[in-house]
Amino acid sequence: MGQIEKFPQPHRPAPDAAAHKLVVIGNGMAAGRLLEEFFARNTTPARVTLFGAEPRVNYNRIMLSPVLSGEKSFNDIVIHDDAWYAAHSVDLRRGEAVVAIDRAAKYVETAGGDRVSYDKLVIATGSMPFIIPVPGANLPGVVSFRDLDDVEKMHAACDAGGHAVVIGGGLLGLEAAAGLAVKGMKVSVVHLMPHLMERQLDPSAGYLLKNAIAARGIDVFTEANTDAILGDDRVTGVKLKDGRVLPADLVVMAVGIRPNATLAKAAGLDTNRGVIVDDLMRTSDADIYAVGECVEHRGQTYGLVAPLYDMAKTLAAELAGEKPAGFVPAATSTKLKVTGIDLFSVGDFSDDDENNEVVLRDPSRGVYKRVILRDEKVVGAVLYGDTADGAWYFDLLKKGEDVSAIRDMLIFGQAYQGGSPMDPTAAVAALPDDAEICGCNGVNKGAIVKAIQSGLTTLDEVRANTKASASCGQCAGKVDLLLAATLGDTFQAARKHMCKCTDLTHEEVRGFIREKQLKSLPAVMQELGWKSSGGCPSCQPALNYYLIATWPGEYRDDYQARFINERVHANIQKDGTYSVVPRMWGGVTTPDELRVIADLADRYKLMVKVTGGQRIDLLGVKKADLPAVWAQLLNAGMVSGFAYAKGLRTVKTCVGKDWCRFGTQDSTGLGIKLEKLMCGSWTPAKVKLAVSGCPRNCAEATIKDIGVICVDSGYDIHVSGAAGLHVRATDLLGHVETEEEALEVCAAILQAYREQSAYLERVYKWVDKFGLENLRKLIFEDHDARKGLYERFMISQRAARKDPWAERAAGKDMHEFMPLAVLGPKSPVAAE
């Protein structure tokens, strides 16, 4: 396959002194298309000399993946064979690399010392694979994936068997991984970004792609950074930044390409990332042109074949003496060449404020479709699992057609256009009785309607009786519509949907996250049939919290899904500045801490305010100053007070028995222990505690979410207080005798709240819904359940205190620095 002897050197045409001398450096796809277009146009004689560094004729590099997997041979992907070059009198110099261009004398020089003169010169040197600069990158067994030589090296490795690691989860990397897996190697893909093919796919499609790749036996490691390639005489493994080591007999670098402008730069042509050209592909030398991946046009470089072919067409017209309009880059689409995986991407799919979207998900078939609109025109599309309408969406995008008239049916594809959209309730009612509503459980419309007619009035009742919507939940909206259509005016949708992105409630979403083992935002949105691609400001923070609470230590907190205050660890104020509240454990501080606060107030001209939670608030901090303010506080051992958090805010205390003549227990000491125990715990809404040393209740424990009143015989535990818009006194939950029991009980209450409450639901609302007596039984009568809650709380705390954001702390952006303010290296709880 691809050996030199298969293609003997063709007979070189006799020189024609009168012919125009055209020299082309590079024999890739751009150069090949250029010559095709040129010969189709040119009527004047031309002596064409073509230099190719590879010892082969021109072939389709896009199809290297099928050659790697064995689906095609080299002969199947040849574009121009020897006969084609001979027929067009092309002097093909394959295996001859050009090493220099003499612009003054107008000739090129080869590595063998041969000099060939030109009238016009075309540089088509393509691109070079980017090799990440890590130790071991030059070891034998490390290859790129750009040409047939790379494929032959991979075939040799496949013959020996073993493990392959592909670094890079883009198009080329995944195609290489799939090919190597087909050839029998155990393959791992290491990708730096959160999801695969992030340039072409959004997170939802990336999630589906990862599942499909994993289903082929390929291990996928996202958010994984390569630290070193291991081995002495040849590669033996890949070490990641987090310390994991992946065995490797072969390492494929597929992390990207860079234009090969080396020759042009050495010749003194204008270069930047690539060879700089104008709209007619002219370089800074009037007799030299450039085309293909080596080119930089209006600040942009290209790696897909469609724009390269457009460049070739423009340049061919220019060389033939025509007056072309000039190269104008057009939108390009992307497809993955892996058998059995259908995906399509085109245009802009960013979360731009001017964009809106139409999304369709079918979890049972693994289908995801997203069409992005701006001003009622298609500007992008991402399709996974069903790409039949990709060309249609691409055509709408290129033509810039107004789709407002078909917007309601747009997502269903070209075949569904032309009909008049129906009212959703009427549309579901018009379905035949045998139409499947719940694909997961095989429940049709007739069975659901019959159940409703038997006396069911709510979705929960229908779910319990028919199993419709009991699995993935995506059909809940259709069941609601059937309830409305069947019951008519008597139907009242009592369900409170989580947000506009889903027909599910908070409780249903939390249940499905546990039952279906969903451990990422894209997984939740795809498997539960989200109506948007990435959620909305209402559901993003809620889902992020539910995943943190359900999978501590497994799910990586997504700071982008948090509110601004949580992202910068400070509360934004009316004038756009921020307030910073360092933690004072139990309301206790020291002279040294006060000096630091005074210094900061002087330096940044801040207002100093004592808060109701027995802390000091620094008001008026500019956003740009937040990192410096926190750095100074952290250096003094003062960590975040979480005044912004959906989490523990404060534990208010009185001085207790050590100082007060009425005190019965060490309320300050218990308050500090509670605060250190619970600090860093994310909760559905803000949580405040207090410990009063006697029934006189100076710490106001009876208006807190959890309050402790110290009495002679121990500790009374109160719950469900509030002192905001809704003022509510606590209820007595129970009594314990020891401080250790008080700590365990308070943590168990908090964990029960964390596991069961809806996002943004305060403790008192959750207890009202859950039932005070049920909570009392759970905490004070079922001791095994209480122990379990406490143990799960501690597992969550250990995971939280590893602070997964801290590894970003070396960065310059606000969200990259601020995570250290969560606990800080000197925090008294950091080591626990």
Contacts for 813 with CB less than 8 Å, ≥ 6 apart: none
Residue 269 lies in a domain: yes
User: Do 16 and 124 fall into the same domain?
Assistant: yes
In this predicted structure, the answer to whether residue 364 has a pLDDT above a threshold of 80 is no
| Inside any domain, residue 289 | yes
Chosen domain end from 542, 568, 596: 542
Per the CB < 8 A criterion, the answer to whether 684 and 753 are in contact is yes
Entry field: residues in the chain: 832
Whether 748 contacts 717, CB under 8 Å: no
Band (271; pLDDT cuts 50, 70, 90):
very high
**How do residues 217-269 score in pLDDT, each as one tens digit?**
999 999 999 999 999 999 999 999 999 999 999 999 999 999 999 999 999 99
| Shared domain check, 671 and 638 | no
Closest CA to 313 of 24, 85, 30: 30
Question: What tokens does 192 get?
Answer: 């730096």
- Residue 229 is predicted with a pLDDT of 97
Report whether 195 contacts 211 (CB < 8 A).
Answer: no
* 377-384 and 367-374 beta bridge pairing: antiparallel
Provide the annotated binding site: 654, 660, 694, 698
- Specify the CATH number for the domain of residue 122: 3.50.50.60
Residue 702 lies in a domain: yes
Please tell me whether residues 39 and 88 are part of one structural domain.
yes
Alpha helices in 171-304 (DSSP H): 171-182, 203-214, 262-266
Place of tokens 């943190």: 548
- Report the CATH number at residue 632: 3.90.480
What lies within 8 Å, CB to CB, of 571 at 6+ separation is 565, 578, 579, 581, 643, 644
pLDDT tens by residue, 205-226? 999 999 999 999 999 999 999 9
Cα 431 to Cα 435: distance, rounded to the nearest angstrom: 6
Contact 218, 187 (CB under 8 A): yes
Nearest to 724 by CA among 776, 763, 772: 763
H or E segment at 40? helix 29-41
Region 365-391 average pLDDT: 91
Verify that 81 and 190 share a domain, yes or no. Answer: no
- Measured CA distances, 409 to 403, 414, 480, 776 (Å): 10, 9, 21, 52
- Greatest alpha-carbon pair distance for the chain in Å reads 114
* 120 and 151 both lie in a single domain: no
**Could you say which of 379, 414, 449 is where a domain stops?**
414
Range of the domain at 695: 651-800
Same domain? For 760 and 824 the reply is no
* pLDDT band at residue 561 under the 50/70/90 scheme: confident
The count of C-alpha atoms lying within 13 angstroms of the C-alpha of 293, restricted to the half-sphere facing its C-beta, is 19
pLDDT digits (tens, 9 = 90+) for 564-581: 888 888 999 999 999 999
d(CA 425, CA 184): 52
Q: Are residues 792 and 660 in the same domain?
A: yes
Residue 820 and residue 791 in one domain? no
Please say if the pLDDT value at position 64 is more than 80.
yes
pLDDT at residue 566 in the model: 85
CATH number at residue 516: 1.10.10.1100
Please give the Cα distance from 621 to 764 (Å, whole number). 33
Q: Which residue has the tokens 């569904």?
A: 416
Of 319, 334, 360, which one is at a domain's C-terminal end?
319
- Which parts are annotated binding residues for siroheme? 698
Distance CA(403)–CA(376), nearest Å, equals 6
Q: Are 676 and 727 part of one and the same domain? A: yes
Query: Per the annotation, where are the binding residues for [4Fe-4S] cluster?
Result: 654, 660, 694, 698
Q: Same structural domain for residues 796 and 807? A: no
Is 70 exceeded by the pLDDT of residue 824? no
Q: Are residues 785 and 676 in the same domain?
A: yes
- Work out the pLDDT band at 689, boundaries 50, 70, 90: very high
